[in-house]
């Protein structure tokens, strides 16, 4: 079974600085998707960034980028120029590819999350 581990329960960063959140996962599959979701106090899960395992190039979305190391099964999130609005819980998630015959689109397996605080 796949597992996702986030080893940092809490992190803190100064406004405008850079912070990296760690995530490792375990799987025997060769193709899959990885995601980072942000959950602010409103509790809505907001997609931050996604990475397809077959792509070697690391995904980037504005101030957010990932360091995807497939062999090491590592998927860290880097937030540059941190802003107060970045303060939230961040969840790393793994998703398998859709099944051809069973029809499942694949469910998400989440890590326990990292609480990020941003200091002004």
Partner 1 sequence: KAGVTQTPRYLIKTRGQQVTLSCSPISGHRSVSWYQQTPGQGLQFLFEYFSETQRNKGNFPGRFSGRQFSNSRSEMNVSTLELGDSALYLCASSFTGSSGNTIYFGEGSWLTVV
C-beta closer to partner 1: residue 85 or 103 = 103
Residue 109 within binding range of partner 1, rule CB under 8 A: yes
Q: Give CA–CA dist 21/11, Å, rounded.
A: 8
Among 8, 64, 74, 110, binds partner 1 (CB under 8 A): 110
Q: Give CA–CA dist 61/97, Å, rounded.
A: 22
Q: Give CA–CA dist 118/56, Å, rounded.
A: 31
From residue 4 to residue 43, what is the string marking binding to partner 1 with x (rule CB under 8 A)? -----------------------------x-x-x----xx
Residue 97 within binding range of partner 1, rule CB under 8 A: yes
Tell me the closest approach of the beta carbon of residue 94 to partner 1, in angstroms.
Answer: 11
Q: Give CA–CA dist 90/37, Å, rounded.
A: 6
Tell me the closest approach of the beta carbon of residue 110 to partner 1, in angstroms.
Answer: 4
DSSP letter at 73 equals T
Residue 85 within binding range of partner 1, rule CB under 8 A: no
């Amino acid at each position: 079974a796949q597992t996702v581990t986030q080893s940092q329960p809490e992190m803190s960063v100064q406004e405008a600085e850079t912070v990296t959140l760690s995530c490792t996962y375990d799987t025997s599959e060769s193709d899959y998707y990885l995601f980072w979701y942000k959950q602010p106090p409103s509790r809505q899960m907001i997609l931050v960034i996604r990475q397809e395992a077959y792509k070697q190039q690391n995904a980037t979305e504005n101030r957010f980028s990932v360091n995807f190391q497939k062999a090491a099964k590592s998927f860290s999130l880097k937030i540059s120029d941190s802003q107060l609005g970045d303060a939230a819980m961040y969840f790393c998630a793994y998703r398998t590819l859709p099944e051809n015959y069973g029809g499942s689109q694949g469910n998400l397996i989440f890590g326990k999350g990292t609480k990020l605080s941003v200091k002004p």
